[in-house]
Chains A and B, each alone.
Chain A
Amino acid sequence: MAFTTANIGLALNASADVRTAYQAVWDGLWQQRHLPPALLELARLRLAALHQAPREAALRPALAESTGLDAAKIESTLSGNWYKDAAFSAGERAVLAYTEVYAQDPEAISDELAADVLANYGEPGLVCLTEALGFIDGRIRLALMFSHLGGAR
């Protein structure tokens, strides 16, 4: 079975309590009030591309439908051309630049990258973004891993 962030819970069904608590974090990520969901959706798409996870990249979750992202912006994010696309705001650029370095090596995040996020979203925004990236990245990793482990469960 192929998993994405949308259905990875199916791979965790054998442990109902932990699965429920894990799902609550995912639901909370899209309902929190510190950052617009559209920003986190851009980060999810960029992480999917960096993980070379085509099913994840093709996913358009219902939770993100209200974010107002258009197809052109999604394509720029997936292709990595966001930095030269005038449709992206300063805040979106700050988040995507931070996301790309986070994905490769959190120790490599520069003070300037963090400062750009802080300037647009403040300290709660930077904390929320960094925590959210961890759970988005992690859910993509789990989806990839369980997709390749195979086996009925």
Chain B
Amino acid sequence: MGHASRINSRPERQTGHIVRDSAFGLAPDLLEPVVQLTNRIWTGSSVNPALLEMVRLRNARTVNCTICKATRYAQAKADGLDENKVGKVADGYLDSDLSVREKLALEFTDVYLKNPAGASPDLLARLRTEFSDAQIADMAVALTTFHAMSRCAVSLGGLPESLPVFEMSVPSI
């Protein structure tokens, strides 16, 4: 059973921006650079949106953020991500028919989430067979941002037990 929301207020000035108008908007000094970063991750990344979405959903699943798990970004769908592939982000993905590149991205995600000190030069060598250093950096920043925001949503409470899948666009700046 999830916790009731710990935050009852919303920003006085509603802007039409889904994140700024949420509880996050109560702390705008920190939120503004986060909004800019999130936009940069999706619009300026050297990693394609479908793969970023797989990383995001693997994180959402691990953190158990119900709203993150239910969200599908339109940009990832337009890049070819479908529900069949989303289903393969589950445990056991290493035995799935996902590509080597996709499996490596999820393995990178799991190391970050479960044991970051367990990363090894072998993992980096394998990552470099599929990703440039810029792509590894972009994927790392995307992952750490997804993780921070999903944990924030869980911590502040008020999430439903489950939600149907819904599609939305990445919030603009």
Is the CB–CB distance between B30 and A18 below 8 Å? no
Task: Please count the residue pairs between chain A and chain B whose beta carbons lie under 8 angstroms apart in the complex.
Answer: 177
Question: Please, which residue of chain B has its CB at the minimum distance from the CB of A20?
Answer: B40
Q: Which of A29, A123, A142, A153 contacts B133 (CB 8 A)?
A: A153
A72 lies within 8 A of chain B by Cβ: no
Stretch at the interface among B80-88, B92-100, B118-126, B160-168: B118-126
B103 lies within 8 A of chain A by Cβ: no
Is the CB–CB distance between A144 and B29 below 8 Å? no
Interface SS, A side: helix
> Known: A134-B147, A149-B123. Contact between A106 and B154, CB under 8 A?
yes
B33 lies within 8 A of chain A by Cβ: yes
Range, interface on chain B: 35 or more
A51: chain B residues within 8 A (beta carbon): 116-117
Taken together as a complex, chains A and B put the C-alpha atoms of A108 and B97 apart, in Å, by 35
Number of interface residues of A (CB under 8 A): 56
Is the CB–CB distance between B148 and A137 below 8 Å? yes
Is the CB–CB distance between A138 and B31 below 8 Å? no
Stretch at the interface among A9-17, A41-49, A63-71, A81-89: A9-17
Q: Which of B41, B45, B116, B154 contacts A141 (CB 8 A)?
A: B116
